[in-house]
Structure 1
Amino acid sequence: MEDNSKQPLISPVKDEETEEQYSIQRSISSFTADENDIPPITGVNVFFQQFWIESKKLWYLAAPAIFTTLCQYSLGAITQTLAGHLGTLELAAVSVENSVIAGFSFGVMLGMGSALETLCGQAFGAGQIDMLGVYMQRSWIILTATAFILTLLYIFAAQLLRLIGQTPDISQAAGELAIWMIPQLYAYALNFPIAKFLQSQSKMIVMAWISGIGLALHTLFSWLFMLKLGWGLVGAAVVLNASWWLIVVAQLVYIFMGSCGRAWSGFSWKAFQNLWSFVRLSLESAVMLCLETWYFMSLVLVAGYLKNAEVSVDALSVCTNIVGWTAMVAFGFNAAISVRVSNELGAAHPRTAKFSVVVVVASSFAIGVIIAMFLLIFRNQYPSLFTNSTAVKNLVYNLTPLLAFCIIVNAIQPALSGVAIGAGWQAIVAYVNVACYYLFGLPLGLILGYKVNWGVQGIWSGMTLGTIVQTIILFYLVYRTNWEKEASAATRRIKIWGGEDDKGKQ
């Protein structure tokens, strides 16, 4: 294989090109002839040697990221699990509020915050450390404004749930819980930009410690207030809000104490510059990730129209709870690979970025297979962790083979989405998600569930096929990617979003 490591990623500048284009091209070329990019893979030995090196880098990021995402997701999941021991109505209420109201908001906030994975990651890789704090502040402004709008969703949750066909009892209970959960929404607005800011600098360990302590306290106080003291759903809301704000405040203290160096130099008026352009990128990121989050959220909604709605909703909520927990493992890889790809593209190391993708897909697939096998082996035992209802446990037992297959697919898909975020492909993947999820998977699930009378299994089968098609398309996009061109685009993006241009204005 020819060694292009000392060749510029772009061709020499033509006379008719503007001075700005020439400046961008020179900066790209200066990044490229770099011994830090991996050598071309010329044989099996070289492949496994580089695979081991990249795996260590990936797991250094992925392990604490997986732990962090598992802990933060488990806040709501533990609340949902304990609600199952209060009664079927309480479990259904928490499931619907968690999946529909909070799930909708979580998707919007996480998606909009994920714009920072592209911007902060590539800026950090290019050495533009000073811009990271400014990007985070811009994201805070935008997400807080979005949270203010989404507050209406919480206030009118009961009416909206009735409007989309949920039963009156479930709608009323979930609506009351949603009003209590408004503080969580504003914790989301601060937390996700903070998380992306820290991730881009590979500061995963501190996030893991904070989230782990938060989860331990949440578990203890949830049991105390919900079951021991008998506060029920009110206790669930109080503890869940407090747990999220504990995580946010602890992370802010870490940042404000100066632990991030040049990345945080205090509040700046520059945060109010280029807001509209930042909103556009945030919306692209939100659409991409929201379409994925809402896709599985719709499982719970659609199940509410089946006969024996409480049992169907409860069984699916147990399965989606497990999918959510295992997806947090995949999202750990998602965070790690988005950092690796964005950092390496920002530093103009296209071969390293490309090889990182190979490593993360192989690793996430292996983890997905292990989790799926564990569920199949213990399919008789694990439903009892979530519910005391025999009918719900039997339905979960029957859904387990499909659940196991879904987990394997969903182990790979978020890793590929992380590649898209790191490279800045949010808009393209949003179109793919619309086609695969909502034009193919969801309609097919409805047909299989209602017309073919497969019930819950049919709904989930159709939606799983939509995820498979989406994963295949993402594989194709990654396979066809010109990573040298992506490195060029990363350098151009850094200039546009503030890097050198902003420094020149100071």
Structure 2
Amino acid sequence: MDADYNTQLLNLDEAHLVSECERDLKALDNGEGWEEVMTEIRKQMGLAGPLVLVSFLQYSLQLISIMFIGHLGELQLSGASMAFSFAGVTGFSLFLGMGSALETLCGQAYGAKQYHMLGIHMQRAMVVISIICIPIALLWASIQQIFTLLKQDPLISEQAGIYGKWLIPSIIPYGLLQCQLRFLQTQNLTSPLLIATGASSLIHLFVCWGLVYGFGFGIIGAALSSAITYWINVLVLGLYIKFSPQCQKTWTGFSIDGIKNLVGFLALAIPSSLMVCLEYWSYEFLVLMSGLLPNPELETSMLSISLSTSSLVFRITYGFGSVVSTRVSNELGAGKATAARLAAKVVVVLGVAEGMALGILLIALRNEWGYVFTNEAEVVKYLSMIMPILATSNFMDAIQGVLSGIARGCGWQKIGAWVNLGAYYLLGLPCAIIFTFLLNFGAKGLWMGITCGSCLQSILLLFITFNTNWEDQASKAKERLLYGSSLPLI
């Protein structure tokens, strides 16, 4: 780092942190507390709308591809679904987690007004992700062989292999997109994210239709359409970042510093990935276990619908998590410990309210919701029986989702990874096995078990959050800005 950079960072000293805390506490004593709370709510809700919509639109891209494939035939749908699940476990979730490291690094740098560091952090993330794309591409190219070794149906394995190979061009743009999203998100630039993602989703609809049906490429066209859409999104956001006046300070062009300290970035990116992947993988295990149940067609169909419902609902929670990650990281970077604490408390209340509202809605629609996915009355009836448990699971997800956002904003990814490991693999999945196979609750037991895991995750993250010394977190943010992302996270 150059001398000017260190000099600027040293201005954010302990005396500044103390004065910020004293000022904020004095404001609360003077009766300004409710005004501060309402201001924070307005800030978070202003960010939440666009970020929730961006989350929905991102989720819709692969959903659209799968919907088009579903009209090609059951064999193609089965193969593409298996390949996409494999790609999610080995690639997409990995890059989603690595990108979230920028929520800490870019968010705190922006709050500290170290604007040029946002571009450097983004370059480092892009370099690391581009390198990791190589082994992932080789793995995806071998999907057919892997499924064959796992004794899957040969025809389904063949279709999965085709879809997986043509999904490879999606890897790099997806990873780069995660970097761009966090770069803009941490600057509170949500409008360009919403416009670019919305336009890309609309384009994807037509591109997918054209390649699948217009040119008759079938399952190959569906996979290629994802790559085309991701590249369009990356290009649009890249042009915005380069030419927008709002990014002049944060993007100063490619720099040699962008390929330095890659190991330091990995020190945060690896636990960030583990934090996301450990939770994501636990739900994939539920699908595998459902195939071992009596009447696997019914159990797997119900679980597939309930997982799709849970994933859809979680888009809202993930949006709120992104909001608080931005708010907390910005405030900690600026040395405003009390403001960061207030942001954390406000989002927990919003998360509880959101979880309760969606839970009540799911229970109210329990007898009709299944018909959105299937006309099989048996599946719909079974789903209605599971819905109260699913609503409870989604309520816990709403809480842990925003708490995970707080963790990303603070740089607690290593702690978050350990919490997720303990919650899901020492409690959640073992409970799912006991409830399902020993107590014979069927697929209901799978949801009961994973809900136990998310409940423990929420409790642990709540305990950590509400016992946090926020002044100490602001000091650690300053140290991370001084010494780089390789600073220990615990």
Q: TM-score normalised to the size of structure 2?
A: 0.90
> What corresponds to 2:120 in structure 1?
134
* Distance (whole Å) between structure 2 residues aligned to residue 47 and residue 387 of structure 1: 50
CA deviation string 1:105-128 (max 9, x = no partner): 121101111111111111110110
RMSD in angstroms over aligned alpha carbons?
2.7
> What corresponds to 1:120 in structure 2?
106
Change (3 A) 1:102 1:26: closer
CA deviation string 1:385-410 (max 9, x = no partner): 33355554444333322222211111
1:314 Cα offset (Å) = 3.5
* Distance (whole Å) between structure 2 residues aligned to residue 170 and residue 442 of structure 1: 28
SS in 2 for 1:387: coil
The residue type paired with residue 440 of structure 2 is N
> What corresponds to 1:3 in structure 2?
none
Structure 1 gaps, min length 5: 1-19, 499-506
* Distance (whole Å) between structure 1 residues aligned to residue 184 and residue 278 of structure 2: 25
CA deviation string 1:2-58 (max 9, x = no partner): xxxxxxxxxxxxxxxxxx9xx959723235424996446858975433221101111
> What corresponds to 2:3 in structure 1?
none
1:228 Cα offset (Å) = 7.7
Q: Is 1:327 the counterpart of 2:314 in the alignment?
A: yes
* Distance (whole Å) between structure 2 residues aligned to residue 399 and residue 292 of structure 1: 21
- Deviating more after overlay: 450-459 vs 380-389: 380-389
> What corresponds to 1:17 in structure 2?
none
CA deviation string 1:275-315 (max 9, x = no partner): 11111211111111111121222222322333444443333
Counterpart contact for 2:359–2:392, Cα < 8 Å: yes
How much identity, in percent, do the aligned residues show? 34
> What corresponds to 1:372 in structure 2?
359
Change (3 A) 1:309 1:253: farther
CA deviation string 1:352-410 (max 9, x = no partner): 10011111111122122222222222233333333355554444333322222211111
Change (3 A) 1:142 1:214: same
Counterpart contact for 1:166–1:305, Cα < 8 Å: no
Counterpart contact for 2:78–2:156, Cα < 8 Å: yes
Q: Is 1:302 the counterpart of 2:289 in the alignment?
A: yes
> What corresponds to 2:326 in structure 1?
339
Change (3 A) 1:368 1:104: farther
* Distance (whole Å) between structure 1 residues aligned to residue 372 and residue 314 of structure 2: 19
Counterpart contact for 1:167–1:304, Cα < 8 Å: no
The residue type paired with residue 452 of structure 2 is L
Please point out which of 100, 111, 117 is paired with 2:86.
Answer: 100
SS in 1 for 2:249: helix
Structure-to-structure mapping, 1:475-486, within 5 angstroms = 475-486=462-473
Please point out which of 416, 426, 448 is paired with 2:413.
Answer: 426
* Distance (whole Å) between structure 1 residues aligned to residue 264 and residue 396 of structure 2: 34
* Distance (whole Å) between structure 2 residues aligned to residue 77 and residue 103 of structure 1: 16
Structure 2 gaps, min length 5: 1-5, 486-490
Counterpart contact for 1:441–1:465, Cα < 8 Å: yes
* Distance (whole Å) between structure 2 residues aligned to residue 140 and residue 269 of structure 1: 13
Please point out which of 192, 217, 223 is paired with 1:206.
Answer: 192
Change (3 A) 1:235 1:70: same
Change (3 A) 1:34 1:469: closer
Change (3 A) 1:252 1:439: same
1:165 Cα offset (Å) = 6.0
- Deviating more after overlay: 399-408 vs 25-34: 25-34
Change (3 A) 1:381 1:244: farther
> What corresponds to 1:280 in structure 2?
267
Please point out which of 336, 346, 349 is paired with 1:359.
Answer: 346
Counterpart contact for 1:37–1:350, Cα < 8 Å: no
Please point out which of 129, 149, 160 is paired with 2:135.
Answer: 149
* Distance (whole Å) between structure 2 residues aligned to residue 491 and residue 362 of structure 1: 28
The runs of at least 4 aligned residues of structure 1 exceeding 6 Å deviation read: 227-230
Counterpart contact for 2:169–2:224, Cα < 8 Å: no
Change (3 A) 1:195 1:177: same
Counterpart contact for 2:90–2:136, Cα < 8 Å: no
What is the total number of aligned residue pairs between the two structures? 478
Please point out which of 190, 194, 201 is paired with 1:215.
Answer: 201
Q: TM-score normalised to the size of structure 1?
A: 0.87
> What corresponds to 1:161 in structure 2?
147
> What corresponds to 1:454 in structure 2?
441
Change (3 A) 1:220 1:454: farther
CA deviation string 1:217-272 (max 9, x = no partner): 32344455556876543332132222222211111111121441111111111111
Please point out which of 167, 180, 193 is paired with 2:179.
Answer: 193
The residue type paired with residue 125 of structure 1 is G
